[in-house]
Structure 1
Amino acid sequence: MSDNKNKTLFISDLHLDTDTPVILESLLALLHRQAAGADALYILGDLFEAWVGDDDQSDIADAVAAALLALSQAGTRVYLMHGNRDFLIGEDYASRCGATLLAEPTVIDCYGQRVALVHGDSLCTRDTAYMAYRKQMRDPAWQQAFLDRPLLERHMIAQQMRQKSQEANSQKASDIMDVTHQEVTDLMESLEVNILVHGHTHRPGIHTIRLHESIRGSDEAVRIVLGSWDQKAWVLEFSPEGYELKPFAHPAAAKVANG
């Protein structure tokens, strides 16, 4: 555990579902190994493929909650941020995980660096149809009306919504579903940060950008994009010495590769 002291981890876009046992295995391995003893773990949205309410019981949700709670009880702070798939995660489930729900955006002090955190979908403003959809889904009145429906009905609605989303995305230009540069710079300048971490776009990378105004003596900024876990696990490791965005092979894939 001492190797992980003074280290903070960031992940997003696992999209856990009954069809993703390999990804669940990767997450549990991460929590037991890389995250053990770390200062904090931030999960920046879309931990689950869908979330229709904290009252929905599943083996996957139970396994994740138990593992995150064990990590939290061992001394690693755990934080959850809503994504566009699991924006209905509530305080009940967060409590089961020993986690704190984060507002969006959130600015943290990470070893002396001011770092802004968002899921990332709020930055994709060129996709006007999605932004209208997002506004409705994040409306508290809509959410409460949805949660008041029977559980089975909520599952049916969620499935229909996923299908419509997949159909709509297949007809959109790729660049429209990426972040808008102006939105990124405006957000960073308003929050007075030089580092932004987000997921959502499934386009992992570290991008150096120029701000229109200087933040703490520099107009240079960094946008770090977390990767989705569909092909491999992506983890951002942040320490006092710097940061590194790392891909890891899923345990099952590694077993196959090693014969």
Structure 2
Amino acid sequence: MTTLFISDLHLSPATPEITACFIKFIREEAPQAEALYVLGDLFEFWTGDDDKSDFAETIRQEFKALTDSGVKCYFTQGNRDFLLGKRFCQQTGVELLDDMSVINVYGKRALVLHGDLLCTEDVKYLAFREKVHQPWLQWVFNRLPFWVKEKIVSKVQGEIRDDKQHKDLTIMDVTQSEVERVMRQYDVNLMIHGHTHRPDIHRFKANGVECTRIVLGDWYEQGSVLFCNTETTELQTRPFEGSSREHGQLLS
């Protein structure tokens, strides 16, 4: 059996090639797995579980078919889909994880998370994150008419795009000292996350202990999957329709 990890698909009706790659993956590959972990930013932006669009319903149906087949599916909220909640999980059979969760990956304790909390130098974003994660604010937002929420989200997305254009790329990457602190806190030497769109396998020592941090890739130019079984752990890509490129990076 295998366990699969994905993140940063940024699914949207405006990017049908990404949606097609995802649907192919979830129909043909994910059903063969023991579990699928989605580590945030599945959507370009999730406005709320009351989204009744054809696009949103299609994604719900794909997850429901997967979980109905017996595959466990877990979801960690990202900075683009922090409004995904209990209703989505009830409709799809997906299980929502905490911001940081320790799981067992074939005998190895691993910490899984979206990754935005590791970017401690991005002070402006972390302040925004703290604000929008306040339960009372989400309670109010979720009770607004959907068309009003869409207008608010559109404005916020524009502000985020403008802000990113003026940020140094190093600010939007993880802070190594925070990575090590969090791994000590959770007593793990393996971490898996997304968010930074910089797929790689980082090996380092922390307090004399060999540690590994695996960064999942985005789906802007191809699908990106972390493939794990009892014998190997490998970062792999999945080509979009019409493309033949596919490669992997081995961890073990």
TM over 0.5: yes
1:239 aligned onto 2:229: yes
| TM-superposed deviation, 1:74 | 1.1
- The answer on whether the counterparts of 1:52 and 1:154 sit within 8 Å (CA) in structure 2 is yes
Larger mean CA deviation between 65-74 and 193-202 belongs to 65-74
Q: Distance in 1 between matches of 2:24 and 2:230?
A: 24
User: Aligned to 1:48, what secondary structure does the other structure show?
Assistant: coil
Larger mean CA deviation between 145-154 and 103-112 belongs to 145-154
| TM-superposed deviation, 1:42 | 0.4
Any unmatched runs of 5+ in structure 1? 1-5
Which amino acid letter does the alignment assign opposite residue 10 of structure 1?
A: F
- The answer on whether the counterparts of 1:37 and 1:74 sit within 8 Å (CA) in structure 2 is no
1:63 aligned onto 2:53: no
Q: Distance in 2 between matches of 1:204 and 1:178?
A: 12
User: Aligned to 1:107, what secondary structure does the other structure show?
Assistant: strand
1:178-197 correspondence runs (5 A): 178-197=173-192
1:201 aligned onto 2:191: no
- Residue 248 of structure 1 aligns with which residue? 238
Q: Distance in 2 between matches of 1:172 and 1:221?
A: 29
| TM-superposed deviation, 1:254 | 4.4
Which amino acid letter does the alignment assign opposite residue 234 of structure 1?
A: S
1:28 aligned onto 2:23: yes
- Residue 160 of structure 2 aligns with which residue? 165
Of 7, 11, 18, the residue aligned with 1:16 is 11
Of 38, 43, 51, the residue aligned with 2:46 is 51
- The answer on whether the counterparts of 1:108 and 1:116 sit within 8 Å (CA) in structure 2 is yes
- The answer on whether the counterparts of 1:207 and 1:224 sit within 8 Å (CA) in structure 2 is yes
Which amino acid letter does the alignment assign opposite residue 222 of structure 2?
A: K
- The answer on whether the counterparts of 1:205 and 1:226 sit within 8 Å (CA) in structure 2 is yes
Q: Distance in 1 between matches of 2:64 and 2:201?
A: 30
Instruction: Report sequence identity in percent.
Output: 40
Q: Give the TM-score of the pair, scaled to structure 1.
A: 0.92
1:80 aligned onto 2:75: yes
1:128 aligned onto 2:118: no
Deviations 1:97-128 (A, max 9, x none): 21101111000011111010110111111011
Any unmatched runs of 5+ in structure 2? 246-252
Of 104, 110, 128, the residue aligned with 1:109 is 104
When the two structures are aligned, how many residues end up with a matched partner? 245
Q: Give the TM-score of the pair, scaled to structure 2.
A: 0.94
